[in-house]
Amino acid sequence: MPYGHRNTMRMEKTSMFRALAGLAFALLLSTAQAQQAQSRLDEIIKRGILRVGMTGDYLPFTYLDKETKAFRGFDVDMAQSLGKALGVKVEFVPTSWPQMTRDFEADDFDIAMGGVSITFDRQKKGLFSTPIMREGKTPIARCADKGKFETIAEIDKPGTRIIVNPGGTNERFARAHVKTAEIRVFNDNTKIFDEIAKGDADLMMTDASETRYQQKLHPGVLCAVHPDKPFDFAEKAYWMQRDVALKAFVDQWLHIAREDGSYAKIYAAWFE
């Protein structure tokens, strides 16, 4: 083949490669621009409202006063702090543990807060912030019975009455580990610990942070069982719709809150 013809073909291939590379770059750029235009973070700022999903039944993280319709709790204060950082108002959207995933998928809120545990099922559907708390499941019982329920084997016996709230990680943990003892589902998570205090249930296995808080509310009546050494490992975080820009903002806000002392101040108000 003549040299000139070979050179022409080489130039044509080079031109084609450049054209394809330019097209690929243009596609990547348009995709990135489209993703940026569809950012949940931009939507929230433009809307001027951050929609926060909350169960309102899990002190010290979240509690909904049915008369005033006002939320209070650790994650209520944290949500207000996040709203302030975003420069938007916070709108609390009531949900429940059994309904939370369906509400999340229906886009009823931008972020779920209120003692939400990280799970693979939730991770498949959204993004979690960096963890805000590390803990696990541990029992809480009447103080007189505290020494009877230190292990799963001691708990999982005929005659032991375990109480759980429906639809969350507490019920899943109990059903995964208890085969012999009775498990009773109690729908009102705001009154579930009263069932133990008055003797209608023996114990509940829940997050160590909650057992400490309920022990504080029921001094000498209810006692957390080894909350520093829970049965399993778990972390709590904030569950967001799948948007990397929103996650990056929330993570940065959490980082600054930990460094400037604002996180510690809110934590102390509810856990110490």
pLDDT in tens, 201-256: 999 999 999 999 999 999 999 999 999 999 999 999 999 999 999 999 999 999 99
Read off the pLDDT of each residue in 74-84 and give the average, rounded to a whole number.
98
> pTM value?
0.76
Sequential DSSP letters for 30-50: HHHHHHHHT-HHHHHHHHTEE
pLDDT of 53: 98
> In a 10 Å sphere around its CB, with 0-12 CB exposed, 13-18 middle and 19+ buried, how is residue 149 labelled?
buried
pLDDT of 167: 84
- Round the CA-based radius of gyration of the chain to a whole number and report it: 25
Rounded Cα gap, residues 94 and 84, in angstroms: 21
